[in-house]
């Protein structure tokens, strides 16, 4: 079906009811009256008709024609291009600029000086099969916010360089103090690796991509297949993202021209030692020259060598120097004013900056956002307007650490906290399965939408494919629970400032899993690659636009903000049982350890010809008073259930505008109640009490992080304190829900 033909249908019969093969199990639609649901389905059918895969491909080709990292000329051009399109589509659009710290390398040297010499190439090759691989103006491979430095030391292989790996090193009596560590990518967020290495006394960190993780072990390598080639390098930020996101110099405030800034030395988020990513082609000579104990089985990658830990004899010099300049970050912010509730915002964002050619990350998601916005623009030209304001955000400077979104969120914190109903994020996208993450108040909405979007490969709903995938992987709940659980969010994309700093209910949506490869943050995340391996035909780009378009439209048009609190309560109950279970498992593990220590079992089971430092006995874990949290969860479940009953009744029997508006005000602010102005322990910027990235583990989410991380760290006093904080927080949410029930019952 051609582009024109679709426009034609949309223009002629925009609101004709188009029967969908994929209706939800009943016709009800969360937050909508029966009548308004019929209209909404018509609207969404028209949205689908608008979506044109050719646009996605065309825009991606243009945007990724040249490198578009922060501060690059083409990034600015892209911002202008996107702004202009938004304006053409009927939005008010502006470029909002911040001045952010964005270091770029001046000197990058990794050289092995013993037992033999090897100078790392640190270059990704130009290949005939990838037309952008030789393009001018590329940013070399590096880790943003690495320290400057010139150090020479013996190498220690630390596997993924995560906390458990250092425990293994300890068992072997190996200390990284005064050494350079080499860690493979994977197992955690990259920034954790140099941070831990620094805390353990290492002088520098080399990161590399082992072919086990995204290279030939996984599949054929580019350009034959999709996986990482010998010389491919993963760039990326190593700012201390679990501490705060955004410009490392301006936590809590917008990085405006005149903002008060930390000096580079003062910034707690900037890495204290040099870090550089290299390819496995450059890592192999180093790793091959290592001695010392053979690495544990789970540490071994796919290089054709015996992996040794060291230290040495490989001795390496790492020399890095950066230009530490402020660069402009250009967020494009476009609005379509709401017809009824202009001060209730649905924010819909995707970043626009990329490390190299950035086709998958982030343009695959960005062009879907654009097509969604264009389609809604077309709908809005046909005598329809969203009830609420839709704000589209094309973020800059996400790659160095969510700078564009964070600075905007910090800069407009009060307004956003007042007005934002929800934030919907996308980032990279590809062929495969729907991935749903976010606030559990939005779980039902997400499920309703997923049940109505068709998977382009199988013709069933995208919901059914996810259900099938989870069922196959052994999840039995999916055949009985009405909604598929959406994943709680850690960090790693632009939802973080909204969800975890400001307390805005958020969703993060993508497709993927059948687009596996190894070009992430390398030169080969290119248009040529994406067309072959990312999403051939841009079918899933279109599907993403239909999915997030529905989310935007439902949130914008619903009579009552489409949140369902029972889903929230159900997940909180799960997390609360998890943290209680964690304590019991920790107790059992400590007891078991102490028994093994008493038996001298560690030493007796160890090979006496090898260095082995047995674990020591630990203090037993106390029992903690979880009752306040348990009582709060019970209350929450009850109030959530009752509110859902009342809301359903209201949808059927109607309510006054005032009641509805009061209810919406309460629903809108629910997520804010989950935050705490003091933030989490040792990281006040992270305020959400239910979702946070792991302080010690990076991107990966920790639910009920205050309690969970205290138990993980065996800080029992803090765990007790955090139980109280979480109980208070849940009680505040329940209080609000009970207030809403009273309004509706009155």
Question: Cβ 167 to a second copy, closest distance in Å?
Answer: 15
Of 318, 290, 292, which Cα lies nearest the Cα of 169?
292
532 makes contact with a second copy (CB under 8 A): no
Query: Of residues 34, 294, 627, 645, which one binds a second copy by CB under 8 A?
Result: 294
Instruction: Please state whether beta strands 104-114 and 92-101 pair in parallel, antiparallel, or not at all (unpaired).
Output: unpaired
Cα gap 716→586, rounded to integer Å: 12
Query: Of residues 306, 577, 611, 617, which one binds a second copy by CB under 8 A?
Result: 306
For a second copy, the closer CB: 454 or 715: 454
For a second copy, the closer CB: 382 or 458: 458
- Which pairs with CB-CB distance under 8 Å and at least 24 residues apart come from 194-197? 194/143, 194/146, 194/161, 194/238, 194/271, 194/273, 194/275, 195/238, 195/240, 195/271, 196/161, 196/162, 196/163, 196/166, 197/158, 197/161, 197/273
482 makes contact with a second copy (CB under 8 A): no
Q: At what angle do helices 627-653 and 565-599 cross, to 10 degrees?
A: 160
Question: Cβ 306 to a second copy, closest distance in Å?
Answer: 5
Span from 3-11, 109-117, 150-158, 217-225 in contact with a second copy (CB under 8 A): 217-225
Q: Which residues pair with 423 in a beta bridge?
A: 347, 506
Cα gap 491→701, rounded to integer Å: 7
Q: Which residues contact 163 (CB under 8 A, 6 or more apart)?
A: 196, 696, 697
Phi, psi for 557 (deg, rounded to 5): -105, -15
Question: Cβ 639 to a second copy, closest distance in Å?
Answer: 35
Query: Of residues 198, 227, 231, 322, which one binds a second copy by CB under 8 A?
Result: 227
Question: Cβ 600 to a second copy, closest distance in Å?
Answer: 7
237 makes contact with a second copy (CB under 8 A): no
- CB-based burial label for 558 (10 Å; 0-12, 13-18, 19+): buried
For a second copy, the closer CB: 457 or 625: 457
Q: Which residues contact 242 (CB under 8 A, 6 or more apart)?
A: 189, 191, 192, 491, 683, 686, 692, 693, 694, 695, 696, 698
Span from 209-217, 251-259, 340-348, 409-417 in contact with a second copy (CB under 8 A): 209-217
303 makes contact with a second copy (CB under 8 A): yes
Query: Of residues 4, 21, 128, 472, which one binds a second copy by CB under 8 A?
Result: 472
Q: Which residue has the tokens 């008709």?
A: 49
Query: Of residues 12, 482, 608, 616, which one binds a second copy by CB under 8 A?
Result: 608
For a second copy, the closer CB: 515 or 642: 515
Distance of CA 323 to the CA centre of its chain: 28
Instruction: Please state whether beta strands 92-101 and 388-395 pair in parallel, antiparallel, or not at all (unpaired).
Output: unpaired
Query: Of residues 262, 299, 324, 602, which one binds a second copy by CB under 8 A?
Result: 602
Span from 64-72, 100-108, 468-476, 732-740 in contact with a second copy (CB under 8 A): 468-476
Cα gap 226→357, rounded to integer Å: 16
Structure token digits, residue 715: 């800080």
Q: How many residues are present in the chain?
A: 746
Size of the site for a second copy (CB under 8 A): 43
225 makes contact with a second copy (CB under 8 A): yes
Cα gap 509→624, rounded to integer Å: 37
Query: Of residues 90, 161, 187, 211, which one binds a second copy by CB under 8 A?
Result: 211
611 makes contact with a second copy (CB under 8 A): no
Question: Cβ 428 to a second copy, closest distance in Å?
Answer: 18
Q: How many C-beta neighbours within 10 Å does residue 87 have? A: 14
Distance of CA 161 to the CA centre of its chain: 21
Cα gap 558→659, rounded to integer Å: 15
Question: Cβ 464 to a second copy, closest distance in Å?
Answer: 6
479 makes contact with a second copy (CB under 8 A): yes
For a second copy, the closer CB: 610 or 714: 610
302 makes contact with a second copy (CB under 8 A): yes
Gyration radius from the chain CA atoms: 26
Q: What is the DSSP string of 641-666?
A: HHHHHHHHHHHHH---HHHHHHHHHH
457 makes contact with a second copy (CB under 8 A): yes
Structure token digits, residue 501: 């700093």
Q: Which residues pair with 155 in a beta bridge?
A: 180
Structure token digits, residue 496: 């973080």
Span from 61-69, 154-162, 210-218, 676-684 in contact with a second copy (CB under 8 A): 210-218
Span from 299-307, 411-419, 519-527, 540-548 in contact with a second copy (CB under 8 A): 299-307
469 makes contact with a second copy (CB under 8 A): yes
Q: How many C-beta neighbours within 10 Å does residue 97 have? A: 18
Query: Of residues 337, 340, 514, 728, which one binds a second copy by CB under 8 A?
Result: 514
475 makes contact with a second copy (CB under 8 A): no
Query: Of residues 601, 649, 656, 714, which one binds a second copy by CB under 8 A?
Result: 601
Instruction: Please state whether beta strands 506-513 and 432-438 pair in parallel, antiparallel, or not at all (unpaired).
Output: antiparallel
Question: Cβ 457 to a second copy, closest distance in Å?
Answer: 5
Cα gap 161→192, rounded to integer Å: 8
Query: Of residues 2, 263, 265, 304, which one binds a second copy by CB under 8 A?
Result: 304
Question: Cβ 713 to a second copy, closest distance in Å?
Answer: 24
Cα gap 316→363, rounded to integer Å: 37
114 makes contact with a second copy (CB under 8 A): no
600 makes contact with a second copy (CB under 8 A): yes
Cα gap 172→611, rounded to integer Å: 6
228 makes contact with a second copy (CB under 8 A): no
Question: Cβ 458 to a second copy, closest distance in Å?
Answer: 6
**Dihedral sign (CA 96, 99, 103, 104):** positive
For a second copy, the closer CB: 280 or 568: 280
SS3 530: helix
468 makes contact with a second copy (CB under 8 A): yes
Span from 8-16, 17-25, 325-333, 604-612 in contact with a second copy (CB under 8 A): 604-612
Question: Cβ 62 to a second copy, closest distance in Å?
Answer: 28
Cα gap 177→157, rounded to integer Å: 13
For a second copy, the closer CB: 114 or 601: 601
605 makes contact with a second copy (CB under 8 A): yes
Query: Of residues 219, 223, 684, 700, which one binds a second copy by CB under 8 A?
Result: 219
Segment 570 to 599, residues that bind a second copy, using CB under 8 A = 592, 595-596, 599
Given a contact cutoff of 8 angstroms between Cβ atoms, the answer to whether 685 and 501 are in contact is yes
Site string for a second copy, 417-456 (x = CB under 8 A): ---------------x------------------------
Span from 243-251, 257-265, 354-362, 602-610 in contact with a second copy (CB under 8 A): 602-610
Site residues, a second copy (CB under 8 A): 211, 216-221, 225, 227, 294, 300, 302-306, 432, 457-458, 460, 464-465, 467-469, 471-472, 476, 479, 514, 592, 595-596, 599-605, 607-609
């Amino acid at each position: 079906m051609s582009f024109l033909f679709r426009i034609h249908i949309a223009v002629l019969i925009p609101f004709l009811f188009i029967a969908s093969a994929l209706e939800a199990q009943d016709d009800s639609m969360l937050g909508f009256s029966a009548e308004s649901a019929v209209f909404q389905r018509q609207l969404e059918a028209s949205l689908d008709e608008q979506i044109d895969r050719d646009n996605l491909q065309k825009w991606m080709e243009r945007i990724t024609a040249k490198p578009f990292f922060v501060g690059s000329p083409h990034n600015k051009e892209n911002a202008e291009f996107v702004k202009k399109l938004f304006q053409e589509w009927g939005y008010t659009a502006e470029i909002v600029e911040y001045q952010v710290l964005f270091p770029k390398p001046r000197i990058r040297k990794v050289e092995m000086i013993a037992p033999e010499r090897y100078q790392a190439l640190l270059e990704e090759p130009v290949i005939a099969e990838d037309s952008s691989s030789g393009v001018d103006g590329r940013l070399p491979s590096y880790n943003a916010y690495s320290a400057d430095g010139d150090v020479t030391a013996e190498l220690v292989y630390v596997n993924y360089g995560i906390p458990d790996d250092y425990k293994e090193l300890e068992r072997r009596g190996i200390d990284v103090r005064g050494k350079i560590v080499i860690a493979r990518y994977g197992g955690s967020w990259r920034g954790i690796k140099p941070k831990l290495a620094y805390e353990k006394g290492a002088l520098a960190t080399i990161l590399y991509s082992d072919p086990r993780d995204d290279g030939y072990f996984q599949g054929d390598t580019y350009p034959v297949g999709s996986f990482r080639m010998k010389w491919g390098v993963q760039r990326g930020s190593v700012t201390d993202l679990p501490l705060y996101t955004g410009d490392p110099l301006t936590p809590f405030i917008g990085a405006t021209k005149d903002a008060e800034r930390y000096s580079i030395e003062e910034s707690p988020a900037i890495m204290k030692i040099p870090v550089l990513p290299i390819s496995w082609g450059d890592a192999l000579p180093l790793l091959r020259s290592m001695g010392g104990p053979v690495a544990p089985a789970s540490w071994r990658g796919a290089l054709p060598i015996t992996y040794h830990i060291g230290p040495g004899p490989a001795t390496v010099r790492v020399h890095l120097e950066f230009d530490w300049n402020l660069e402009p970050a250009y967020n494009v912010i476009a609005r379509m004013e709401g017809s009824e509730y202009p001060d209730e915002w649905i924010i819909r964002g995707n970043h626009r900056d990329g490390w190299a050619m950035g086709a998958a990350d982030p343009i695959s998601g960005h062009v879907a956002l654009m097509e969604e916005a264009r389609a809604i623009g077309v709908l809005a030209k046909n005598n329809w307007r969203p009830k609420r304001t839709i704000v589209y955000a094309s973020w800059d400077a996400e790659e160095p650490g969510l700078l564009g979104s964070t600075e905007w969120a910090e800069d407009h914190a009060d307004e956003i906290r007042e007005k934002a109903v929800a934030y919907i994020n996308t980032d990279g996208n590809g062929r495969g399965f729907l991935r749903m993450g976010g606030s559990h108040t939005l779980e039902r909405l997400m499920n309703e939408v997923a049940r109505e979007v068709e998977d382009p490969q199988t013709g069933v709903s995208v919901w059914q494919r996810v259900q099938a995938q989870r069922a196959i992987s052994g999840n039995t709940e999916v055949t009985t629970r009405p909604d598929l659980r959406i994943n709680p969010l850690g960090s790693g994309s632009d939802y973080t400032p909204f969800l975890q700093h400001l307390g805005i209910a958020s969703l993060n949506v993508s497709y993927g899993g059948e687009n596996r490869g190894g070009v992430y943050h390398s030169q080969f995340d290119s248009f040529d690659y994406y067309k072959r391996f990312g999403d051939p035909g841009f079918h899933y780009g279109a599907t993403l636009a239909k999915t997030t378009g529905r989310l935007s439209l439902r949130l914008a048009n619903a009579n009552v903000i489409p949140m369902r609190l029972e889903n929230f309560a159900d997940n909180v109950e799960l997390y609360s049982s998890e943290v209680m279970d964690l304590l019991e498992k920790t107790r059992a593990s400590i007891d078991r350890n102490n028994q093994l220590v008493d038996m001298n079992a560690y030493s007796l089971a160890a090979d006496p010809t090898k260095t082995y430092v047995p674990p020591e006995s630990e203090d037993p874990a106390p029992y903690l008073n979880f009752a306040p949290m348990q009582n709060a969860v019970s209350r929450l479940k009850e109030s959530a259930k009752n509110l859902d009953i009342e809301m359903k009744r209201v949808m059927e029997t109607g309510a006054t505008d005032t009641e509805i508006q009061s209810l919406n005000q309460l629903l809108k602010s629910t997520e804010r109640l989950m935050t705490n102005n003091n933030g989490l322990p040792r990281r006040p910027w992270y305020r959400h009490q239910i979702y946070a990235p792991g302080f010690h583990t990076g991107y990966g989410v920790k639910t009920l992080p205050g309690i969970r991380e205290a138990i993980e760290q065996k800080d029992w006093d803090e765990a007790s304190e955090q139980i109280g904080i979480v109980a208070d927080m849940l009680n505040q949410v329940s209080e609000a829900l009970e207030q809403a029930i009273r309004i509706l019952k009155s």
